[in-house]
Amino acid sequence: MSFLQDERLSQVSDPAIAALLRDLLNGQSELLQRVSEIEGELQKQAAASAAVVAAFPNGDMAGHRRYHELMIEDIESRKRLWRAITEKTLGGLLWGTMAMVAAAVWFYIKAQVMR
CA torsion sign, 62 to 65 to 69 to 70? positive
Separation of alpha carbons 28 and 21, rounded Å: 10
Which of 1-5, 18-22, 70-74, 96-100 is predicted least confidently? 1-5
pLDDT at 74: 98
Look at residue 1 in the predicted model and tell me its pLDDT.
54
Average pLDDT over residues 21-36: 89
User: pLDDT-based confidence at 2, cuts 50/70/90?
Assistant: low
User: Average of pLDDT values for 17-21?
Assistant: 82
Whether the Cβ atoms of residue 2 and residue 27 lie closer than 8 Å to each other: no
Residue range 52-85, pLDDT digits in tens: 888 888 888 899 999 999 999 999 999 999 999 9
Euclidean distance between CA atoms 15 and 22, whole angstroms: 10
Across all residues in the chain, what is the average pLDDT?
90
**CA 68 – CA 70 distance, rounded (Å):** 5
